[in-house]
Chain A
Amino acid sequence: MIFDAIKIFFSHRKQTIKSIPNSVLPEKYRGVPEITSDGLSSEQLKELQQLCPTSAIEVKPFSLDMGKCLFCGECEKCFPNNIHFTNQWKIWAFERKQLIVHANEKWHAPEPANPVTLLNKTIRMRQLCAGGDMGCELELGASSNVNFDMERFGMSFTASPRHAEAMVLTGPITKNMSFAAESTFSAIADPKLLILSGTDAISGGMFVDSPDIDRSFLDRHKPDLYIAGSPAHPLNIISSIASLTGRTL
């Protein structure tokens, strides 16, 4: 019995990703887009704008909002000369407007924040799902599995908000969860941080006009970190949270 268990340990080997920042995702992965309006007539621009299911594309000036983007790649397939999703997976921001990609500019994730002194490089988080579609939740769970292993960087999820310094919110915030979101956040001791993960949480995504959504929670509390993606990749989750604690990963 014990020998079988040891055999499994050896046959499975160590599978943890050694270097998070140097990880390269496959070519088809849709990360930070590069956009240009060159060669597009005003009608084509309008068509491109209307094609986007979440209205992430603005025409004047030509820009793409990664907080609204579903990274579905529909626009890239219809206008391959103007929009290209690179496999750059580092997509986060400390301010909402930093998530906007402008035409003919290369977008970079912001430099690490000034370390929040109370954190001392470790952070414990309480996750709250408020209408999230399980995509983001599975990826947050995957961040602490043996492959990504976020706990080696001093980050972990905790069950009680009393033990947490931050709340990670996923989902567009349904009406039925707006009360729970408020009370969970208020149960975390001050000073505390609010992290939004995924397009649904950042902008409401495709549900922004649904009558069953109530996003007033975000009018009362300002997020400290936006992790973009639909859903956000575990590499992105780990790097962005490290960035919030003043580190580069």
Chain B
Amino acid sequence: MYRDNFYIVPDGVRAIPFENIPELTFKDFASCAVEALDDDTKDNVPLAYFQSEGKFFIVLFDYSTGNFLLTSSKSPKKVINSLGVDAYYQFERDIYERSKVSINNHPYLKPLRRPCSNNSVFDFETSTNVSLHEVNVGPVHAGIIEPGQFRFTCNGEQVLSVEICLGFQRRGIEQLIVDSSSNRKRMLLAEQISGDSVVANTIAMSNILEGQLDANQYQLIFHERALALEMERLAMHFADLAALAGDCAYYLGQIAIEPLRTTIINSLQLWCGSRSGRSLVRPSGSFYRLSLDEIDVVTNNINNVKKLFSDISSNLLSSPSLLSRLDGKCQLSQHSVKAFALRGTISKASNQPRDIRISSYSQVPYKNFTVQKLSKGDLLSRLKIRIMEVNQSIDIVLEFLNTIKSIWYETSKFPVYDSSLPKSSLILSPVEGFRGTILHVALSDQNSTLADYRIFDPSMMAWPVLAYAMKNQQISDFPVCNKSFNLSYLANDL
């Protein structure tokens, strides 16, 4: 039974001493990692598989019970075998890129990120068939978006395959976090991991730096963080919906949804001085508190957004040209979502509801919360799931605003930057960002100093799935398909 080979982390525990994590031979490690994914009674999803200090770690999260499963293996060899399933291939490319450990039997062993050198070339697959043609897109794209390179192999207008080359956004942020001289710098780096998930990433890092806080004492701060997280989700879902509507030439949707995002982020600006929620989350305290007057203004804004959004969303879903443009395109089955270990909005649209907010890792109670899901997994489902999540988040925001008002007090706690990490431990910090579960992993040594820091965003797993979903589709569907996934380049390249 694979569960004997894993350490099952108790509810809500983030710091796990290394001595609790089983150390297996690589053969056992590989077989139990695959076995865990085959268990149909559980919903085990690999959130991380990485090498640090000569050891391999696998972090699974069981979405059916809300527990982490951990295991490790010491591997002195320079060559390892691939675990042989889709869910681990992206992690193996990452391991290969960082440590130059060679991996046998991997179907696509290219570095996850393009090597950082001016004369390096990414070795795209080519076809010798003269009736096919290739289309290159990027790294510089037509709009105001991040860089990434796509190579399409097409038969006429039909896409046969897409190869994605990333790494243009690589800034080496994980190493900078480890090398930072103070926790203040680390928090500011966390704000810059991805400008669209500032709140999610800062909450994740705060949870690592501050340790386990007393839930009663910090109830207000936890609620404020959860409120900001929902506002960020709202803002980014509005951005995605507006972009999708714009790409389908449904401009009324685009111009009516864009200002809703402005209202949300201007509310964040009123609260903390930054439209993207910078400086809002700090370890064990906060600089910017929501005052009672501001609570009233934000409540008013959200109620207004709720009213306007209900009109526009029903108009969006009753527009025949928009529906026919999206219905049945770039479908992703529940089976493939499981195989590629996806989480977040994409998996919810394919009948696989995975959300960490219902687990013991959320610091505030979400009342009457059910994870939204749709079954079809096409472009239209990915649009609809965002509308459903927006409606849900609006209600959560209003509820949290009420709660904050009822437990509000004036004194604010100054953030603590000199707390130390637990000794020789692996510290896990999951947060439900708007794309799905973001996991920050910190490793500490026996002197309680930070030895390694890893960030795992749902985008990293989903990039190959974008290529998979485009197979046999029209090349003209790519922009709208890409927007329906809205993956982060930064969170992959870091």
Residues of chain A touching chain B, judged by Cβ–Cβ distance below 8 Å, are 1, 4-5, 7-9, 11-12, 15, 25-26, 28-30, 51, 53, 70-74, 77, 85, 127-142, 145-147, 157, 159-160, 171-172, 174-180, 184, 200, 205-207, 209-214, 230-231, 233
Contacts and interface: CB of A to CB of B under 8 A. Distances in A.
B276 A231 contact: yes
Contacts of B406: none
Contacts of A206: 176, 185, 188-189, 192
B194 A129 contact: no
B258 A146 contact: yes
B188 A70 contact: yes
B140 A212 contact: no
Contacts of A146: 255, 258-259
A81 B489 CA distance: 41
Given A28-B272, A210-B172, A176 B258 contact: no
Interface string B151-187: 0000000000000000111111101100000101100
Contacts of A25: 269
Contacts of A138: 195-196, 239, 276
Interface stretch (B7-15, B220-228, B308-316, B475-483): B308-316
B38 interface: no
A195 to B, nearest CB: 13
Interface in B184-216: 184-185, 188-189, 191-196, 198
Contacts of B139: 176-177, 180
Given A12-B259, A175-B116, A130 B192 contact: no
B273 A26 contact: yes
A26 B259 contact: no
A62 to B, nearest CB: 21
Nearest to A158: B142
A213 B171 contact: yes
B483 to A, nearest CB: 13
Given A134-B194, A206-B189, A72 B278 contact: yes
Instruction: Return the 4 tightest CB-CB contacts between A and B, nearest first.
Output: A135-B195, A134-B195, A159-B142, A28-B273
Contacts of A7: 311
B273 A132 contact: no
Nearest to A136: B195
- Which of B116, B191, B273 counts the most A-chain CB atoms under 10 A from its CB? B273
B139 to A, nearest CB: 5
Contacts of B276: 135, 138, 231
Nearest to B115: A176
Nearest to B307: A11
Contacts of B419: none
B287 interface: yes
Contacts of A28: 269-273, 288
Interface in B11-66: none
**How would you classify the secondary structure of chain B's contact residues: helix, strand, loop or mixed?**
loop
30 contacts: A1-B319, A5-B315, A8-B311, A15-B262, A28-B270, A29-B273, A53-B185, A70-B188, A127-B144, A130-B168, A131-B169, A131-B170, A135-B278, A136-B195, A138-B195, A138-B196, A138-B239, A138-B276, A145-B255, A174-B116, A174-B169, A174-B170, A176-B139, A176-B170, A180-B147, A184-B140, A206-B192, A210-B175, A210-B176, A213-B171
B128 interface: no
Contacts of A213: 171-172
A72 B168 contact: no
Contacts of A9: 252
Nearest to A27: B273
B130 interface: no
Contacts of A140: 144
B146 A73 contact: no
Contact of B262 (A129, A145, A159, A209): A145
A135 B315 CA distance: 30
B364 interface: no
A26 B269 contact: yes
A233 B275 contact: yes
Given A53-B184, A73-B279, A207-B171, A133 B319 contact: no
A36 to B, nearest CB: 21
A237 to B, nearest CB: 11
Contacts of B172: 207, 210-213
Nearest to A137: B144
B88 to A, nearest CB: 26
B143 interface: yes
Nearest to A139: B275
Contacts of B308: 11-12
Given A73-B273, A73-B279, A210-B172, A231 B195 contact: yes
Contacts of B414: 77
Given A53-B184, A129-B147, A8 B116 contact: no
A214 B274 CA distance: 28
Contact of B168 (A4, A160, A177): A177
B145 interface: yes
Nearest to A173: B171
A139 B239 CA distance: 12
B168 A174 contact: yes
B118 interface: yes
Contacts of B167: 176
A99 B250 CA distance: 42
A114 B117 CA distance: 40
